[in-house]
Each structure stands twice: as C-alpha cells, then as structure tokens.
Amino acid sequence: MIETIRRLLQENGRLHTPIETLSDSADLYEAGLTPFAAIRTMLAIEEAFDVEFPVAMLRRQSFVSVNAIVSCLNELAPHADRKAA
C-alpha cells in the first residue's frame, strides 16, 4: 500500500522534495503539496484502491503525510492493500 501511495504522490503530488527522500511521517505540505495537488492525488488514490473519501476526510490532516493517508485508507477499506496494483 505504501509503495502505491508513494508512486501516486510522485505522479500527482508535484512535490518540491523527491518522495523517496521523505519519511512516511514527513509533512507533505512542507514538501510542496498544494491543495490542488492533494485533490489530484486523492482522486488517483480513490481509483487505485477502489474507495471514495467521504466529506469528513476531505481535510488537510488526511493528506499531511503518507502515514495519514494510510490511516484513512485503513479506515475506509481495511484490506485496501490487497486491491492496489
């Protein structure tokens, strides 16, 4: 799951810092993630994991780090790691 999230962040996040140099707890907004890029990344994650983020999760804290995204996915679909390719 983490590898897929990192790939999607690399493809959609438009980070100023290379994703491979960031820890899973690093602040993605400090690394250059913008609200628009967060939305692009969220849509890619929804497609990859076949989930839909509810309105309650559409907030900055949900996408602040790889760990935060994993936490959201675990809440939405506990077996999401088996769905993504």
Reported as a single tens digit per residue, the pLDDT across 35-71 is 999 999 999 999 999 999 999 999 999 999 999 999 9
φ/ψ (deg, to 5) at 51? -130, 170
- Counted domains in the chain: 1
**Rg of the chain taking only CA atoms, in angstroms:** 11
CB-based contact 63:38 (threshold 8 Å): yes
The answer, yes or no, to whether residue 79 has pLDDT greater than 70, is no
Say whether pTM exceeds 0.75: yes
- CATH assignment at residue 47: 1.10.1200.10
Domain that residue 17 falls in: 2-82
Give which of 47, 42, 44, 49 is closest to 68, Cα–Cα: 42
